Structure 1
Amino acid sequence: MNEKKPKSTFAKITQVVIWTMLILTVGSVFLAAYTSIMK
């Protein structure tokens, strides 16, 4: 049942990219909020 398909690797890469983008977006939002509060 455990077949090594190229799609699984592609899915993992896509998931990592999505998570990285999500973390970067959340991080930038927090940075913007922090700087606006500190000013």
Structure 2
Amino acid sequence: MNTMSEKKKKSRFAKITMVVVWTMLILTIGSIVLGAITSIQ
């Protein structure tokens, strides 16, 4: 991880974008899982 970040330094905008993308993915997956659990019960 450290060697990758040293070779390719990401800007603040890139880090924010990655955080937003991961948050969206986690929320989407979480809502799908919750929907599946509620439909099963």
Shorter chain as denominator, the TM-score bin is 0.7 to 0.9
Aligned equivalent of 2:31:
28
Q: Which consecutive unaligned segments of at least 5 residues does structure 2 have?
A: 1-5
% identity of equivalent residues? 70
Aligned equivalents of 2:38 and 2:23: distance in 1? 22
Aligned equivalents of 1:8 and 1:37: distance in 2? 44
Give me the CA root mean square deviation.
1.8
Q: Which runs of 4+ in 1 moved over 2 A?
A: none
Aligned residues: 34
Aligned equivalents of 1:21 and 1:10: distance in 2? 16
Q: Which consecutive unaligned segments of at least 5 residues does structure 1 have?
A: none
Taking structure 1 as the reference length, the TM-score comes to 0.78
Q: 1:29, CA displacement in angstroms?
A: 0.1
Taking structure 2 as the reference length, the TM-score comes to 0.75
